[in-house]
Structure 1
Amino acid sequence: MIRLARPADRATLREIQTYLREPNPALLAYAIDGPPVVLVSATPDGDLAGYLVALHDGETSYVAEIAVAPAYRREGRARRLLAGAFDLLRERDCATIRLSVRPDNDAARRLYESMGFEEVGREEGYYDDGSAAITMQRDL
């Protein structure tokens, strides 16, 4: 199940966030209270398995973080989070969605490409460790 995050989800989402290579706790804390979109992936029992944070301004949105806890990976949760974000952001009149991904993150890049994202740029020194990012985009 995909749903909007609630303030009560904060601690569990912060725990899931620790699995990211470069987590941004301040972003997640800010996003849960809005205005960014935070969607969560929940199990049938209500456990939280992953989340997505998307910022939007006018017609453009940006996926700032997407994370799935290791125990729930390879279940299609990231795909469903992205699909849910597409629907919600369209309702908010966004026309384009962008994200950044590490060039060596082949699994994520394959997922994004399978969902219609195309590479539109590259930014050197994007990540804290100095590595580059590939910028991908798709129309909503």
Structure 2
Amino acid sequence: MIRPATPDDRPRLQRIRTWLPEPTPGLLETAISGVGSVLVSTADGVPVGYVLTMVADDAYVAELVVEPAHRGEGRATRLLGATADMARDRGCDRVSLTVHEENDVARSLYESLGFERRGREPDYYADGGDGLLFEKRL
């Protein structure tokens, strides 16, 4: 099930966020407070993954993570689909995101969902890796 995050989800989402290689400090807390959008994927009512999106004229996926025990179940696909629906409902005509150049699994997922590579951000990540900018028209 996909649903909007609530403030009560914060502790669980903070634990899930530890699976991200480079989470943005404070972003999850800010987004849950209403500045962004956080959708969660649940198993037996408990969040096991989330997507954090900042929405203005367009939507930007800032964080997407699913606990390892629940990967391969289509949760990231459903979270991104729900994000596209939410963005469309808010008048956005595209969703974008940045992925580490070496994250082949994520790049394959995004490409399979219709995201197209639009650019490169040199030294985007703390390890010196480039970020690849992907975009999907809605």
State TM-score, norm by structure 1. 0.96
Pair 1:52 & 2:45 matched: no
Superposed, which structure 2 residues align to 1:56-135 within 5 Å? 56-58=55-57, 60-135=58-133
**Distance (whole Å) between structure 2 residues aligned to residue 78 and residue 107 of structure 1:** 12
The one-character-per-residue Cα deviations of 1:79-110 (angstroms, maximum 9, x if unpaired) are: 00000001111000010110000111111001
**Distance (whole Å) between structure 2 residues aligned to residue 38 and residue 94 of structure 1:** 16
**Distance (whole Å) between structure 2 residues aligned to residue 86 and residue 127 of structure 1:** 25
Match of 2:18 in 1: 18
User: Secondary structure, in 3 states, of the residue corresponding to 1:79?
Assistant: helix
Aligned residues between the structures: 138
User: Secondary structure, in 3 states, of the residue corresponding to 2:98?
Assistant: strand
The one-character-per-residue Cα deviations of 1:54-88 (angstroms, maximum 9, x if unpaired) are: 00112x11000000011111100000000000111
**Distance (whole Å) between structure 1 residues aligned to residue 21 and residue 113 of structure 2:** 23
The unaligned stretches of length 5 or more in structure 2 are none
User: Secondary structure, in 3 states, of the residue corresponding to 2:26?
Assistant: helix
Match of 2:35 in 1: 35
- The residue identity in structure 1 corresponding to 2:116 is E
The one-character-per-residue Cα deviations of 1:17-68 (angstroms, maximum 9, x if unpaired) are: 000100123000101111211000011x20111000000112x110000000
Runs of 4+ in 1 over 3 A off after TM superposition: none
Identity %: 49
The unaligned stretches of length 5 or more in structure 1 are none
Q: CA RMSD in A?
A: 0.8
Match of 1:9 in 2: 9
Report deviation, 1:129: 2.0
